Structure 1
Amino acid sequence: MAKKIKQIAIYGKGGIGKSTTTSNISAALSNAGYKVMQFGCDPKSDSTDTLRGGKYIPTVLDTLREKNAVKAHEVIHQGFNGIYCVEAGGPAPGVGCAGRGIITAVQLFKQQRVFEELDLDYVIYDVLGDVVCGGFAVPIREGIAEHVFTVSSADFMAVYAANNLFKGIKKYSNAGGALLGGVIANSINAPYAKEIIDDFVEKTNTKVVEYIPRSVTVTQSELQGKTTIEAAPDSEQAKIYTSLAEKIINHTESRVPSPLEVEELREWASKWADHLLAFETGEVGLNAVGNI
């Protein structure tokens, strides 16, 4: 009997550190002895750069534009520690749907049974979370991914994108869609950032999987074209990414989140804005969250 491949989708708004987090998870899983494929689903096609010394790889859609028929192995490139790297790609600028690359690539790999052939343990989909589009919803909608995680900072637009993702998960949950594993809280340095994220996950019936601080180690590593796991394996940041990977390994139960309506989210954000102003002026303590 073939082993079960654990397929995970990691969403988040552009610029939030989603690909950085995903690549470090892939690297940590690989170090733990698992066979991993990272599947970049962003039209920018830069998800796997730090797994390959900063080098871009030809995308599925680019390759299809050059030839009519493509073998999946033509678009799979190995990176750090043998990780299989794939970039779905996007359309030519100004033409077509940005989600088409995901749809095309997923169909190609399913038809050719690539995951089984490579004997993978994990497939990690790195998906843009800003855009509410059929293509970007494929890993959730079609139940391709078993668990979904979202990367979010305490910034409002990141929380807004996460809340929209929760709506998509809830919509497809009754039709066999993927469920939410939790929130990966990124760039959490200020105490109030942790309080905001903690309050958001409580309001939406989910949980924080890991808190990741902003670190210059990440910047230094990426300037070398590497993950933190590869470039600074003994750093505190690498230990946090390794801890996150271990939690994903042990994760089994995902759930349907309870997203806020737009008005509720705005009201929640407005109360937090007032609370932070009061905290800054010394009127209240930071942990007076129950009063907002």
Structure 2
Amino acid sequence: MAKKVKQIAIYGKGGIGKSTTTSNISAALSVAGYKVMQFGCDPKSDSTNTLRGGKYIPTVLDTLRDKNTVKASEVIYEGFNGIYCVEAGGPVPGVGCAGRGIITAVQLFKQQRVFEELDLDFVIYDVLGDVVCGGFAVPIREGIAEHVFTVSSADFMAIYAANNLFKGIQKYSNSGGALLGGVIANSINAPYAKEIIDDFVKQTNTQVIEYIPRSVTVTQSELQGKTTIEAAPDSQQAKVYKSLAQKIAEHTESKVPTPLDIADLRAWASRWGDYLLALETGEVRTEVSSNI
């Protein structure tokens, strides 16, 4: 009997550090001895390049445009420490649905039973989380991913995107969709940033899986075309990513979040805005902080 592959989806607003985080999770799991595939689901097709020395790989959609039939093995490339790398790709710019690459790639891999053939432990989908498109909802809607995590900073637009993702998870939860494992809090350096994220997860009935500080080590590593796990394995930042990877590996129970409606989210953000302004001006008012 084949072992069960643990399928994880990492969502997040564009530019929030989602692919950086995902690639370091993949690298950390691989170093820990797991067989891992990273499945890039962003039309930019840059999810896996730090697992391959900065090199980009042909996408599933590009390969299908060149030939009528494609074997899954033709679009799987080996990365750092044996990680299998796949990029779904997107349509020609200005034409078609940006999520079509995910739909096409997932169907191809299911038909050819790729995950079972490769004897994988983890498949990690790196998915753009701030575009309203049915294709990007595939890992959630069809229950392909078992657990969903979202990368968010304390910035409002990142939280707004996370809250929208929660709405999607809630919508499909009654029809076998994936559930939420929690929030990966990224670029958390200022004390108030942690407080904002902590309050947001409290309001939406979820949890923070890990706090990841902003670090120059990540920038240095990516300029070399590598993950932090590969380029600086003994760094403090690598320890944070390894801790996150271990928590995801051990995670078993996800649940339905309770997203805020737009009026409540806006009011919540406004209260935090007033509080941060008061901090900046030195006029912190007890009634402001206590009402957040």
What is the CA-CA distance between 1:93 and the residue it aligns to? 0.4
User: CA–CA distance in 1 between the matches of 2:279 and 2:219?
Assistant: 31
CA contact (8 A) 1:195 1:289 kept: no
User: CA–CA distance in 1 between the matches of 2:19 and 2:208?
Assistant: 18
What is the CA-CA distance between 1:290 and the residue it aligns to? 3.6
Q: Partner amino acid for 1:48? A: T
Other-structure match for 1:116: 116
Q: Partner amino acid for 1:164? A: N
Identity %: 87
What is the CA-CA distance between 1:83 and the residue it aligns to? 0.0
User: CA–CA distance in 2 between the matches of 1:132 and 1:285?
Assistant: 39
What is the CA-CA distance between 1:283 and the residue it aligns to? 2.2
Matched, 1:239 2:235: no
Q: What CA deviation, in whole Å up to 9, does each residue of 1:231-280 have, x standing for no partner?
A: 00000000000000010011000010000000111000011000101111
User: CA–CA distance in 2 between the matches of 1:243 and 1:63?
Assistant: 36
Matched, 1:200 2:200: yes
Matched, 1:125 2:125: yes
Other-structure match for 2:230: 230
CA contact (8 A) 1:51 1:227 kept: yes
Matched, 1:75 2:75: yes
Q: Partner amino acid for 1:7? A: Q
Q: Partner amino acid for 1:129? A: G
Calculate the aligned-residue CA RMSD, in Å.
Answer: 1.2
Q: What CA deviation, in whole Å up to 9, does each residue of 1:138-185 have, x standing for no partner?
A: 000000000000000000000000000000000000000000000000
Matched, 1:4 2:4: yes
Residues 7-86 of structure 1 mapped to structure 2, 5 A cutoff: 7-86=7-86
User: CA–CA distance in 2 between the matches of 1:57 and 1:285?
Assistant: 54
Q: Partner amino acid for 2:53? A: G
Partner SS, residue 37 of structure 1: strand
Structure 2: where are the runs of 5+ without partners? none
Other-structure match for 1:210: 210
Q: Partner amino acid for 1:149? A: F
Other-structure match for 2:154: 154
For normalisation by structure 2, the TM-score amounts to 0.98
What is the CA-CA distance between 1:285 and the residue it aligns to? 7.7
Q: Partner amino acid for 1:87? A: E
Partner SS, residue 164 of structure 2: helix
Q: Partner amino acid for 2:117? A: E
* Aligned length in residues: 292
User: CA–CA distance in 2 between the matches of 1:152 and 1:26?
Assistant: 18
Q: Partner amino acid for 1:150? A: T
Residues 178-193 of structure 1 mapped to structure 2, 5 A cutoff: 178-193=178-193
User: CA–CA distance in 1 between the matches of 2:161 and 2:3?
Assistant: 34
For normalisation by structure 1, the TM-score amounts to 0.98
Partner SS, residue 197 of structure 2: helix
User: CA–CA distance in 2 between the matches of 1:201 and 1:182?
Assistant: 8
Structure 1: where are the runs of 5+ without partners? none
Partner SS, residue 135 of structure 2: coil
Partner SS, residue 125 of structure 2: strand
Other-structure match for 2:96: 96
User: CA–CA distance in 2 between the matches of 1:103 and 1:133?
Assistant: 11
Partner SS, residue 10 of structure 2: strand
Partner SS, residue 137 of structure 1: helix
User: CA–CA distance in 1 between the matches of 2:218 and 2:200?
Assistant: 26
What is the CA-CA distance between 1:281 and the residue it aligns to? 1.7
What is the CA-CA distance between 1:2 and the residue it aligns to? 1.1
Other-structure match for 2:169: 169
User: CA–CA distance in 2 between the matches of 1:216 and 1:2?
Assistant: 42
Partner SS, residue 226 of structure 1: coil
User: CA–CA distance in 1 between the matches of 2:285 and 2:235?
Assistant: 33
Name segments (4+ residues, structure 1) moved above 6 Å: none
Other-structure match for 1:143: 143
What is the CA-CA distance between 1:291 and the residue it aligns to? 2.3
CA contact (8 A) 1:163 1:260 kept: yes
Q: Partner amino acid for 1:269? A: A
User: CA–CA distance in 2 between the matches of 1:279 and 1:256?
Assistant: 34
Q: Partner amino acid for 2:50? A: T
Q: What CA deviation, in whole Å up to 9, does each residue of 1:165-210 have, x standing for no partner?
A: 0000000000000000000000001111000000000000000000
Partner SS, residue 135 of structure 1: helix
Residues 257-272 of structure 1 mapped to structure 2, 5 A cutoff: 257-272=257-272
What is the CA-CA distance between 1:66 and the residue it aligns to? 0.1
